[in-house]
Structure 1
C-alpha cells in the first residue's frame, strides 16, 4: 500500500457536516479518480451514500453516526442537497447516489477490476450478478452471495474474499446494516474498496424499476418510488423527509 500516491478526498472541495455526518463535496469525476487511485495503490477505502433517511437514522443512532465517520460519505438525493443549501448556502457539485455513481464508476474507471457482489435476497442476487457481468464485461466478476448468512458462513465468506484479492466489494443490505457490516468486516475481507450500494442490486436484477430519465433529471425519483410503493415508503418519504428538513433547518441556526 502507498497512501502517498492517493489524492486527498477533499482537495479543493470542502467537507460539509450535516446532522453530525461529514460529506465530501465532490464532482463525480473527482470521486471516480480518487476511487481509482485507492484501488490502483491498494489503499483501503469504505464508501457510503447518505440520503435524508440515512441521516435520520444516524441522528437517533449514535453508533451508526460514529461508524459513518470512518467512511467517505457521498451525497444522495435532493434532501441532503437542500440541507447543504440551508446550512452552507450552496448545493453539492453532483448528486452522487449509489444507483447512478457505481455504474458510472464501472464504465469510466481506467482499471479492470476484480469484483464481488454481496447482499439482497437469494432469489435476486444471481440475476443481479448476471446482469452486471453482461453490462460491464471488461471487469472480472469473481462471485456473489446473498445477504442472508450466519456468523459461521460469514467466516467462510471472508476467507473466500481474502483468497480472491477483491478490488471492489459491492454490499447491498440497506442501511444501516450494510455500513455496519462493512465497518466490522472490511479489514478481514481485505477488499480494497467496499461500497454500500443499497438497492442497486435490486435495480440490476430488474426487481425494482428505475424512474424515467426525465423524472431522474428533475430529482423526483423519490416521488416515483412513492407512487409505486406507497404503503411501504410513505413514512420514509413524507414523514421522514419533513423531519429531516426540520432538523437541517434548525442546525443552521
Structure 2
C-alpha cells in the first residue's frame, strides 16, 4: 500500500536554486502514482552534483528543473546537506524508482512507455519487467540515435509515438541533460503523461550495464566505484563535482543556520 508524503516534505531543501521537494523513496512512489492516476502532465528529476555543475552552464537544463513537479536527491553530498539543514532527505535515484513504480503501475493498470538506450536494452528490459510484474502494460518503446537532440525531428517522432501510445508514465533514459530537457519539452506538447528521468536505469535492469554493489551505494561511494570502472571519462566529471561542494555548503549555510536557530528555540 502506498503511503502519503511525510511531514518532512513540507520542509524542502534548496540546493543552488533547485528545491528538493520529495524527501524519500516512499514519498516519490506515492507522489508519482497519485499524479499519474489523476492524469497529470509532470516530470521527475533527480539532483546530483554533476547536475549542479551543468545547471550553471545550461539555461535549458535549469528551466527543465524549474518545471519539474517532483525533484529527489540523487547525490550523497546533497543528502549530507539535508541532514545539516534538518530535512532528513534520503537518497532516491532514478534507477531505484523504476521497479517500485512498475509494481504500482501493474497494480493500477497504468501503461508505461520506455524511451532511450538501445533496442537490445529496451527488449531485455521489457522481458525482465514483464516476468517480475505479470500483467504490466508497456504501451511502447523507442531508442533514439546516439546524437539525439531534444528539439530535433527525431524528438518530434518520439513525442508523437508517446502521444499515440497513451502511456501514463514514460521512463526517459537519455542521460543528463538530454533527458530532462526532452521531458520539459514534452510538458508543452503532451497531456496525461508523467516523465521520469532515470539515466542508466534501464541498462541496469537489462544487464547491459553493471551497477555498483549495494553496500557501495549505501555508504555513498557509488561514484567512486563508477570512476574506477571508467576513469578516463568520469574522473574529470567528478573532479568538477568536488570543486562545487564548498560553494554549495556556503550557499546552504543560511538554511543550516536558520534550521539550527529553530531547533534551539
Cα offset, 1:98, TM superposition:
0.9
Q: Deviations over 1:74-114 (max 9, x none)?
A: 1102121123345x25541x211111122222234552220
More moved, 216-225 vs 173-182: 216-225
Q: Deviations over 1:97-146 (max 9, x none)?
A: 11112222223455222011001134433333333333333320122111
**Superposed counterparts of 1:140-151, under 5 Å:** 140-148=137-145, 151=152
Q: Is the 8 A contact 1:13 1:25 kept in 2?
A: no
Q: Per the alignment, do residues 65 and 155 of structure 1 end up closer, same or farther by CA in structure 2, a change over 3 Å counting?
A: closer
**Do structure 1's residue 224 and structure 2's residue 241 form an aligned pair?**
no
Q: TM-score, normalized by length of structure 1?
A: 0.85
* Cross-structure match for 1:214: 215
Cα offset, 1:153, TM superposition:
4.0
Q: Which consecutive residues of structure 1, in runs of 5 or more, have no partner in the other structure? A: 1-6
More moved, 12-21 vs 143-152: 143-152
**Do structure 1's residue 77 and structure 2's residue 78 form an aligned pair?**
no
Q: Deviations over 1:209-233 (max 9, x none)?
A: 1222222222221121112111111
Q: Per the alignment, do residues 131 and 172 of structure 1 end up closer, same or farther by CA in structure 2, a change over 3 Å counting?
A: same
More moved, 167-176 vs 65-74: 65-74
Q: Deviations over 1:132-168 (max 9, x none)?
A: 3333333201221113268444434333322221111
Q: Deviations over 1:13-47 (max 9, x none)?
A: 21221011111142321221121111111122111
Q: Per the alignment, do residues 196 and 13 of structure 1 end up closer, same or farther by CA in structure 2, a change over 3 Å counting?
A: same
Q: Per the alignment, do residues 157 and 191 of structure 1 end up closer, same or farther by CA in structure 2, a change over 3 Å counting?
A: farther
Distance 2:94 2:67 in 1: 18
* Cross-structure match for 2:37: 40
Distance 1:16 1:103 in 2: 26
**Superposed counterparts of 1:64-213, under 5 Å:** 64-71=61-68, 72-86=70-84, 88-92=85-89, 94-108=90-104, 110-148=107-145, 151-213=152-214
Distance 1:114 1:9 in 2: 27
Q: Which consecutive residues of structure 2, in runs of 5 or more, have no partner in the other structure? A: 254-265
* Cross-structure match for 2:246: 246
Secondary structure of 1:60's match? coil
Q: Is the 8 A contact 2:144 2:154 kept in 1?
A: no
Number of corresponding residues: 244
Q: Per the alignment, do residues 10 and 115 of structure 1 end up closer, same or farther by CA in structure 2, a change over 3 Å counting?
A: farther
* Cross-structure match for 1:23: 20
Cα offset, 1:73, TM superposition:
1.1
Distance 2:34 2:25 in 1: 14
Q: Per the alignment, do residues 208 and 81 of structure 1 end up closer, same or farther by CA in structure 2, a change over 3 Å counting?
A: same
Distance 1:96 1:233 in 2: 21
Runs of 4 or more off by more than 4 Å in structure 1? Answer: 7-12
